[in-house]
Amino acid sequence: MHRLHNKLRPYGIGGGLESLLIRPTQSRAKSSRLALQCCPQLTHQLFSALSAVRALPRRWHLDGRFGAVQVVEGRRRLVLSAEAAAAVSASFQGQSVTSEFLTPEVMRLLSQDVTLEEVPDMETETTCAREEDVDLLPPAADFTFAELFAGIGGFRLGLEALGGRCVFACEIHGAAREVYSRNFAGELHGDLRSSKVPAHDLLVAGFPCQPFSALGNQPGLQAPQGQLFGEIVRVLRQCQPEAFLLENVPGPT
């Protein structure tokens, strides 16, 4: 583990897999926002209805995702935009409101197992790293990696820029395989379950998200796609890489 970290440390990746060029500086509570809470079964319907009227802000913070859907004690939280929050709040207070956000479908869902709450709104200030903070010499990290559920090669693009060498990649989706093959040389394997993965320093994987997403009922490992997570465990046990990095949507714990 220390050997791989030492290789990557000059590139801003020492100790943990931190951002290379953009780093969070501080977070502070700026104000509060209103959010809806609902049961998992209503999440997809409510998310779709609110998204259709642009009632949910798209948010991303480097020091922790303040996503459109959060898991809170088994329920789902959807943070509202300021404009939508005003209309929804008035509706919950029993006021007669006409608003583009309060469509018949939204009103139908709000009458079910949905509550309104106030949550802190975190504002993150970010700065780009100064040139003197980053080693700008040509990549020479010299490590190997395997890319499972490779998609179109996002992990590979970043890791090769740091000097990594891909020794194995697999992807089963046809369109993704086509894009990947156009951009990267070498063999792209298909079904991981029938593939033998060679030794490597770092394993990366973006395993299927549908069984784990907070937008669904989260069958997890009980779903056929969810069971593919076991293939990652198999490769980790067989190859014993120095480190691994997994990517997925909000929901897996």
Clarify whether residues 151 and 238 are in a common domain: yes
Domain-embedded: residue 251:
no
Clarify whether residues 240 and 137 are in a common domain: yes
Domain-embedded: residue 148:
yes
**Residue 75 belongs to domain spanning:** 23-127
Clarify whether residues 88 and 162 are in a common domain: no
From residue 231, alpha-carbon distances to 20, 42, 187, 205 in Å are 29, 31, 19, 11
pTM of the model: 0.49
- The C-alpha atoms of residue 228 and residue 234 are separated, in whole angstroms, by 10
Domain-embedded: residue 208:
yes
| DSSP letters for 73-125 | TTEEEEEPPHHHHHHHHHHHTT-----TT--HHHHHHHTSSEEEEEEEEEEEE
Residue 17 near residue 245 (C-beta atoms within 8 A): yes
Give residue 251's pLDDT band: very low, low, confident or very high (50, 70, 90).
Answer: low
Domain-embedded: residue 230:
yes
Clarify whether residues 46 and 99 are in a common domain: yes
Tens of pLDDT, residue by residue over 202-241, are: 999 988 777 677 667 777 777 777 778 888 999 999 999 9
Q: Which of 127, 144, 172 is the last residue of a domain?
A: 127
Q: Residue 54 has what DSSP assignment?
A: T
Tokens read off for 139: 């990549």
Length of the chain: 253
Domain-embedded: residue 253:
no
Is the pLDDT confidence value at 60 over 60? no
Give residue 252's pLDDT band: very low, low, confident or very high (50, 70, 90).
Answer: low
Clarify whether residues 114 and 180 are in a common domain: no
Tens of pLDDT, residue by residue over 127-138, are: 333 434 334 334
Give residue 57's pLDDT band: very low, low, confident or very high (50, 70, 90).
Answer: confident
What is the domain-level CATH number for residue 79? 3.30.70
Clarify whether residues 227 and 193 are in a common domain: yes
Which residues, other chains included, contact 84 with Cβ-Cβ below 8 Å and sequence gap of 6+? 50, 53, 54, 55, 56, 101
Clarify whether residues 141 and 160 are in a common domain: yes
Q: What is the largest CA-CA distance in the chain?
A: 65
Domain-embedded: residue 252:
no
Clarify whether residues 104 and 147 are in a common domain: no
Is the pLDDT confidence value at 141 over 80? no
Tokens read off for 78: 């959807």
Return the bridge partners of 155, or none: none
Q: Which of 98, 127, 156 is the last residue of a domain?
A: 127
Tens of pLDDT, residue by residue over 21-33, are: 333 334 444 567 8
Tens of pLDDT, residue by residue over 147-206, are: 999 999 988 888 887 778 899 999 998 999 999 998 888 889 998 888 889 999 999 998
Domain-embedded: residue 52:
yes
Residue 149 near residue 140 (C-beta atoms within 8 A): no
What is the domain-level CATH number for residue 11? 3.40.50.150
Burial class (CB in 10 A: 0-12, 13-18, 19+), 83: middle
Clarify whether residues 158 and 200 are in a common domain: yes
Tens of pLDDT, residue by residue over 68-103, are: 577 778 788 888 888 899 999 999 999 988 999 999
Q: What is the pLDDT of residue 122?
A: 53
Q: Which of 46, 28, 43, 24 is CA-nearest to residue 120?
A: 28
Q: Which of 127, 147, 172 is the last residue of a domain?
A: 127
Q: What is the number of domains present in the chain?
A: 2
Domain-embedded: residue 147:
yes
Clarify whether residues 166 and 215 are in a common domain: yes
Clarify whether residues 192 and 139 are in a common domain: yes
Spot the catalytic one: 38, 166, 170, 209: 209
Q: What is the pLDDT of residue 253?
A: 54
Tens of pLDDT, residue by residue over 9-56, are: 554 444 444 333 333 334 444 567 899 999 888 888 898 899 888 888
Q: For the residues 141-151, what does the mean pLDDT come to?
A: 88
| Cα three-residue angle 169-161-182, rounded to 5 degrees | 50
Does the active-site annotation cover 209?
A: yes
Is the pLDDT confidence value at 139 over 50? no
Which residues, other chains included, contact 165 with Cβ-Cβ below 8 Å and sequence gap of 6+? 142, 143, 144, 145
Clarify whether residues 61 and 95 are in a common domain: yes
